[in-house]
Structure 1
Amino acid sequence: MFTGLSAFPLTPMNEQGINEHEFARLVARLAEAGVDSIGVLGSTGNYAYLSSDERARMVKLGVESAAKVPVIAGIGALRTRDVLVNAENAQQAGASGVLLAPVSYQTLTDEEVFSLYQTVCRSLSVPLCVYDNPGTTHFNFSDELHGRIAELPQVRSIKIPPVQNDLAAAKARVAGLRALIPSDVTIGISGDSAAATGLLAGCDAWYSVIGGLYPDMALALTRAAQAGDTEQAMARSRALEPLWALYRDYGGSLRVAATIAELTGKVSQPCLPQPLQTLQGEARRRVETVIDELSLSGCR
């Protein structure tokens, strides 16, 4: 489950509620494409903006729509008690695994983060992926802390931030972490623009935003990298540079992905929870140009 392409769909919503039909359709498309797992309620799924009841409902709907494809459910929350509720709800809904970032308003210490994972693992019957996302959590994992947490029961993967787009440096980064964690714990790369490099450097999985919209395109890159075809994997990534440039220029992947989804009719508008907004004005026109340039309207 924590290998290959893990595709993370949006959770389309407005201030009146979640568009469950559109969410189910997004998840079903990923299952039909043959992705290796589906990550619901990740950062792309805006988990932090939903109540526990809403999250439980979306995991259930995600599992139903994913057919036999494993579903990994985000369970992060500010308080450990709420993480435990989300974890139990996800398990009851049939999630095959959970994803947990150390979310906090106050910056956490290493011991507080370890305690969070230790407490949650005691309550889990499904495997857990550690979500290392310092851009959101403002917490920086050391490899040593990853090593401690990876020894906990139920921990089976670590989702790391983007590696350098230099293959030698990326291999050293992955190898350094690999030396400190059990052999049955996988390493997954996040940050779509670094996916090819990360996979070629030894990462086992790509936790992908763009895969949540265009699974066929993301699968082609993933399979090339898994086959050790460096030239093809890097060429596929380079071909998407206009998209990666949008990520860099507009604050990351969420707003870009949501804007693409609106412009290509995959979701209705608006699709983000307030105060978040998709890109407007000149930025939106630039996204339209990239959609045309990469022929994304007709892609899967």
Structure 2
Amino acid sequence: MSSAKTSLALLAFALAASTTGCATAPKPSAKSDSERALAAAMKPATAEERAAANRADPLTRANFWGKENLKAPEDLTVSLEFARSLREIGSQERALDILSRALIVHPDSPEALMLLGRIQMASGDIANAGRAFHRATEVDPERAEAWAALGTTFDQQGQHGLAQTSYMHALQFEPSRTTTLTNYGLSLLLTGDLAGAEAKLRQAAANPDAGARVTENLALALGLQGKFDEMKTVSGAAAPKQVVEQNAALLRDLIKPARSWDALADAPAPSTVAALSAPAETPAAAPTTTVEDSAANPEQPRTLRLRN
């Protein structure tokens, strides 16, 4: 074969190869665009975006953290924020589901355990709330709020001795925590330890963040011991004089030693005695005598309540 024919054959082969390559090559621009869009969609929000979302209304906040949870379902911070926002809009069951999933991946997270217990407590599931709080004390033994919350679940179930032991543990780590002192005092009141209740409630009332309810609880503890003058002094700062006098008179009648059943049945309804309730713990078992907060709402009965 002549050199001219050889050159033509080689040129034809080269052209054929290059044409085949061009026909099968992918379109790089379309693929890269879709990849960039997917990467952008799955990119976590910035710290500034998260902060802005937490300043928004509850529904917007829940939607935002729901999207973040889809991007990173195993991120503990995202799961906690999503569960809190769901709880705020009243979606308790969904919040429990998110926390349950988070605890599979992060079984030793005291924050997740505490939030789980609070949601269960609010839903009336006291036994499981107690288990969550107890587990939180195991993974973080110096967490005062976990011990205090555990105490409220024991009080709710009538196990006041265990509740008081839990409060003592909590006070080892936060000796002046107002809610713990108040709940401890109310628990002692439920078991008839009026002097012990007075001591704890005095400590709570001395704190700068103690509200009117703390002083009302102290006043009631004093009144139940017959310390009516001191009760009036303590209660006078938070209630009108007439209400204070009525409360004192009612308690004086209630604690008289020789009261027949008929006399008690004929006694006026306790419509003016200040409510027993701690400022921030969950409800405990109510005492046999229901009392009311007439200063706030004379029509609404209130019972002793411990809050978390």
TM-score (norm 1): 0.29
Structure with greater contact order relative to length (CA < 8 Å, sep ≥ 6): 1
**Where is the helix percentage greater, Structure 1 or Structure 2?**
2
TM-score (norm 2): 0.28
**Where is the strand percentage greater, Structure 1 or Structure 2?**
1
